[in-house]
Structure 1
Amino acid sequence: MKRLFPSFSKDATLGSVFSSFPEKLGPWCEYESLVMRGESDLSFSERELIAAYVSGLNACSYCHGAHTLFAHAYGIDTNLIEALLEDPDSAPVNQLFKPILAYVAKLTLSPSRMTEEDAKAVYDAGWSENALFDAIQVCGVFSLVNRLVEGTGISRVNSDPNEVDEQTLKKLRSKTFYSDFGRANGLDV
């Protein structure tokens, strides 16, 4: 961990940040829970894939590692996420989902350059406006979280999906994971 906040211990975690600023992060945690586990045209696995992908594009190793684990918990091959980062066009992703991933990649890397054609590609693949909006929300949440993590100096120690036991995977798949995490770290969510 980079010591950007002297009050944090050298082994501080994201939970340490939440515990230090509960009044500011409570509403955000509630929103993140809604975006990632609320009703959506996108499955939990699709949302976690977007979270891992956006975090990888933002070079946030903590969130990329954590949400690669989440995606793995939902059955996404972790090699797929790495393939997306290397070459999105040849990555073995469902062709219908590629326009959504292209949209969030562009939104992450050059947000002021979004066009009607970008949205049209999503709609032409059969996705609804609700699905696109939910993808945009996941992208936005993780663009914010990536900066929160990097700005506070939190780093990821271990994110090897092969070292995660079934009980942890079950916890990651919980519909209430995000709000449970917030409550466990002193937030009123």
Structure 2
Amino acid sequence: MSNTPISRFEPPRLEDLPKDIAERISAVQEKSGFVPNVFLALARRPDEFRAFFAYHDALMEKPGGLSKAEREMIVVATSGLNACQYCVVAHGAILRIRAKNPLIADQVAVNYRKADLTPRQRAMLDFAVKVAARSHEVDDSDYGALKDHGFTDDEAWDIAAIAAFFAMSNRLANAFSIRPNDEFYAMGREQRR
């Protein structure tokens, strides 16, 4: 385990947090076995923590439309584009688990165009990356390409919203030097024989 600070800013002590935030962090720790550093780093500002995770959950945890693995693909591809180590590593781990594929996260993070994806997934990531890098260029043809691959208007909205939300998240993680937890690196990978 690393002794390097988890963030440029000292995280608050768990016992000093508002009850709702402490409960949320405890629930995450119970489920995953550790506290993701982003929770501790953002808990420094309780109102912003609540707003951040409310929008995160609204985008990433809702049923229907995009699968949870597809949502994570969007995060990993756009976070790679934005050079966000925290989000590539953390969401790469989640992607490997949700896709049940130990290779996919590395492929998507480095160059999704060469990854083992379906044409539908590639179209989804083409749109997400355009939103993340050149949203001012998005036009009707981009939405038409999504429709050609069976995406609904609501799914197109979700792709854009996830790419945009994580562009903000990437910038915060980079600006605050939030380190990925060591535990993320091994999650969802095959064991060596």
| TM-score class normalised by the smaller sequence | 0.7 to 0.9
The TM-score, its normalising length taken from structure 2, stands at: 0.74
Between 1 and 2, higher relative CO (CA 8 Å, sep ≥ 6) is seen in: 1
Equivalence for 1:38: 62
Q: Match for residue 129 of structure 1?
A: 153
Structure 1 gap ranges (5+): 165-189
CA contact (8 A) 1:45 1:76 kept: no
- Please state if 1:14 is matched with 2:14: no
Identity of aligned residues (%): 20
C-alpha distance after superposition, 1:101-141 (max 9, x if no partner): 10011111222111221111111111101111111111112
Q: Structure 1 length normalisation: TM-score?
A: 0.75
Gaps of 5+ in 2: 13-35
The Cα shift of 1:2 comes to 8.2
Do the aligned partners of residues 92 and 148 (structure 1) sit closer, same or farther apart at CA in structure 2, a change above 3 Å counting? same
Q: What are the Cα deviations for residues 127-184 of structure 1, in whole angstroms up to 9, with x where unaligned? A: 10111111111111211111111121212242323578xxxxxxxxxxxxxxxxxxxx
- Distance in 1 separating the partners of 2:84 and 2:140: 29
How many residues were matched structurally? Answer: 162
Q: How many angstroms apart in 1 are the aligned matches of 2:7 and 2:106?
A: 29
Matched residue type, 2:179: S
Q: Is the 8 A contact 1:72 1:161 kept in 2?
A: no
3-state SS, counterpart of residue 119 of structure 2: coil
The 8 Å contact of residues 53 and 84 in structure 1, kept in 2 or not, is answered as: yes
Q: Which residue of 1 aligns with 2:186?
A: 161
TM-align CA RMSD:
2.5
